[in-house]
Structure 1
Amino acid sequence: MKIVFLDRDTLSPETRLPAFSFQHELQVYARTAEDEVGVRLRDADVVITNKVKLTRQALQGARNLRMVAVAATGTDNVDLQACRELGVVVSNIRNYAVHTVPEHTFALIFALRRSICAYRDSVIAGRWQEARQFCFFDHPIRDLAGATLGIIGDGGLGQAVAAIGRSLGMNVLFSGFKGRSDQGCLYTPFERTLERADILTLHCPLLPETRGMISAREFEMMQKKPLLINTARGGLVDETALAEALERGQIAGAAFDVVSVEPPPGDHPFMRLLQRPDFILTPHVAWASDEAVQALADQLVCNIEAFARGAAVNVVT
């Protein structure tokens, strides 16, 4: 069995890829450019990809391909319909980030809610010496206890974020689907969640129905000028509208770990926000604790091992 890993550099160099127990040939590439995909897939039985796109054309040219092992949870980089038609099994990684993403989410929330970055920058600039006393009050500091946390996405990550929020004394709301109000008492209608939340955090997949789910109209609904946190997927929020909402004061702050184009180009709307004390951009690392990445690598190998035994797991299609 020939296994080709297209983008090993998307995992930490410290991450160990466990050895496969069956006879195989493993070909590892640090990165794979778009025009190299077809050639590298041509003789592969199994291909591992994290973010490299597998198009219909590339898949059709892979003569022996039987499995796509996605080294992530999201599979929007793979043409799933083409895989169905070609009889190629697609497996993904699940439930490996149940600690790291919620912890990163709250790191961003704490940083904004307590103006950590703003105070650090002020100290670097000499403001403490200027104040000539033991403290100064240039930036807002707000407790989380008693605040309302609106969560969009009620899967494992959303539930873990909710548990942390409750432990801090927050009032937790799970948002219903946008445009619906018939999901029962466990969910707060989407529009009502936007109105009531002091902090909004996204933990849902990027699908046609969720792309751009928060845009200019939704920012106008945010009566409490909340913080907006996105550690889920770029594209869930209209990024131009987000920049404008922050600049207009429609929200109190924003922290994003994901962007619709990664890395963002120099003219991306987020680039003009980087010096603001109420905006934080991290480079898609919420998932990337040492423990989580190793768990991902272990599960990746387990997925391929299971497929080789004829008992595929974590099957997307």
Structure 2
Amino acid sequence: MKIVLLDGYALNHDLNWQVLRQLGNCQLYDRTPVDDDAEILKRIGDAEIVLTHKTPLDDAVIRQAPKLTYIGVMGTGYDVIDLESAKQHQVTVTNIPTYATAAVAQFTFSLLLEITGQVGLHNQLVHEGKWGKTADFTFWDKPLLELQGKTLGLIGYGRIAQKVAELGHAFSMKVIFYNHRPRDNAQSWAKQVELADLVKTADVISLHVIQTPDTIGLINQTTLDQMKDGVILLNTARGKLVDESALATALNKGKVSAYGTDVVSKEPIQTTNPLLTAKNCYITPHIAWAPLETRERLLTITVNNLKSYLRDVPQNVVG
């Protein structure tokens, strides 16, 4: 059996892939051009098993891969796969839905705490000598914000959002959430509301939905206009959930007081992205998933997904 990993650099430069090599003849690539179907097909060759992180597998690739029977997406989101084509060609697709729950929730709050506590800024100012030159024992260069009593609004209420809700509750925030279907298992202190109500009432809004045609541009001029003045917006889901031009304008006008995001619409970020010059915009390079422990878990589940498929009892199947 031939196994091809198309883009393992983010994982494999410090992990041991021997456990995967034990399952078949493995060809591991650090990176594969994402916009070159011919090269993707060349690398897949006659492999039955393909693992991908961000390299897209569209219909043109899937239907021309002669022996392809299984695609393992090494992440939670699977928007890089043409699921309809995979179904038509009897290709099983799996993802990894739970590996980064703790890490992404932690990182979501890291963004929020940076925005409200301004730790990075004041650490920089101290090292630049500003504190040592003040007449008082204390100084702050930007307003600081207390979270207690603020309303945290979560759009989506899957595993990550539920973990973020727990963190918000621990900070004595009021927690509300919108989900496309009722959540009967929500914590007693978390209230499900309609999207319009959440947008209008939350002091902090955090995005936790997958990217679909229905969710692309979910945060747009209309929803931004409906938000509270001074709202904080967080995004550790997908960049395309947000109309970045509209948001940049809202940041520059002060309608949105701050945006903390680990994702943008096109990655790596382009120099023309309007968020780069927007006020109070905190951008990290898609690292919420990247702690070593989290990536080790991802590798373990990737291998277990493949083992289950080979036993004809596939798990974490999507589509």
TM-score (norm 2): 0.92
The answer to whether 1:132 aligns with 2:166 is no
Question: Which ranges of structure 1 fall in alignment gaps of 5 or more residues?
Answer: none
The answer to whether 1:2 aligns with 2:2 is yes
Structure number with the bigger relative contact order (C-alpha 8 A, sep ≥ 6) is 1
Q: How does 1:262-273 map to 2 (within 5 A)?
A: 262-273=267-278
Counterpart of 2:303 in structure 1 is 301
1:38-74 Cα shifts (integer Å, max 9, x gaps): 1112211000000001111111111111100111111
The answer to whether 1:252 aligns with 2:257 is yes
Query: Alignment partner of 1:138: what SS?
Result: coil
User: Percent sequence identity over matched residues?
Assistant: 34
Quote the Cα distance in structure 1 between the aligned partners of 2:244 and 2:18.
39
* C-alpha distance 183-75 of structure 1, shift in aligned 2 (>3 A): closer
* C-alpha distance 12-170 of structure 1, shift in aligned 2 (>3 A): farther
Quote the Cα distance in structure 1 between the aligned partners of 2:77 and 2:140.
42
Quote the Cα distance in structure 2 between the aligned partners of 1:219 and 1:258.
18
Counterpart of 2:111 in structure 1 is 108
Query: Alignment partner of 1:311: what SS?
Result: coil
The answer to whether 1:154 aligns with 2:157 is yes
Partner amino acid, structure 1, of 2:214: E
Partner amino acid, structure 1, of 2:309: F
Counterpart of 1:82 in structure 2 is 85
* C-alpha distance 266-96 of structure 1, shift in aligned 2 (>3 A): same
Question: Which ranges of structure 2 fall in alignment gaps of 5 or more residues?
Answer: 185-189
Q: CA deviation at 1:130?
A: 3.7
Quote the Cα distance in structure 2 between the aligned partners of 1:107 and 1:21.
36
* C-alpha distance 61-42 of structure 1, shift in aligned 2 (>3 A): farther
How many residues align? The count is 311
TM-score (norm 1): 0.93
Q: CA deviation at 1:224?
A: 4.1
Range that drifts further, 258-267 or 216-225: 216-225
Quote the Cα distance in structure 1 between the aligned partners of 2:58 and 2:117.
44
Query: Alignment partner of 2:239: what SS?
Result: coil
Partner amino acid, structure 1, of 2:296: Q
The answer to whether 1:219 aligns with 2:237 is no
Which of 285, 288, 306 is the aligned partner of 2:287? 285
1:21-45 Cα shifts (integer Å, max 9, x gaps): 8652101111111331011122110
Partner amino acid, structure 2, of 1:29: Y
Q: How does 1:49-88 map to 2 (within 5 A)?
A: 49-88=52-91
Q: How does 1:11-50 map to 2 (within 5 A)?
A: 11=11, 13-20=13-20, 24-33=24-33, 34-35=35-36, 36-50=39-53
Q: CA deviation at 1:166?
A: 0.6
Quote the Cα distance in structure 2 between the aligned partners of 1:268 and 1:106.
24
Counterpart of 2:245 in structure 1 is 240
Q: CA deviation at 1:186?
A: 4.2
Asked whether the equivalents of residues 18 and 297 of structure 1 are also in contact (C-alpha less than 8 Å), the reply is no
Asked whether the equivalents of residues 152 and 175 of structure 1 are also in contact (C-alpha less than 8 Å), the reply is yes
Counterpart of 1:92 in structure 2 is 95
Quote the Cα distance in structure 1 between the aligned partners of 2:314 and 2:22.
15
Partner amino acid, structure 2, of 1:14: D
Quote the Cα distance in structure 1 between the aligned partners of 2:258 and 2:302.
36
Alpha-carbon RMSD: 1.9
Counterpart of 2:187 in structure 1 is none
* C-alpha distance 21-279 of structure 1, shift in aligned 2 (>3 A): closer
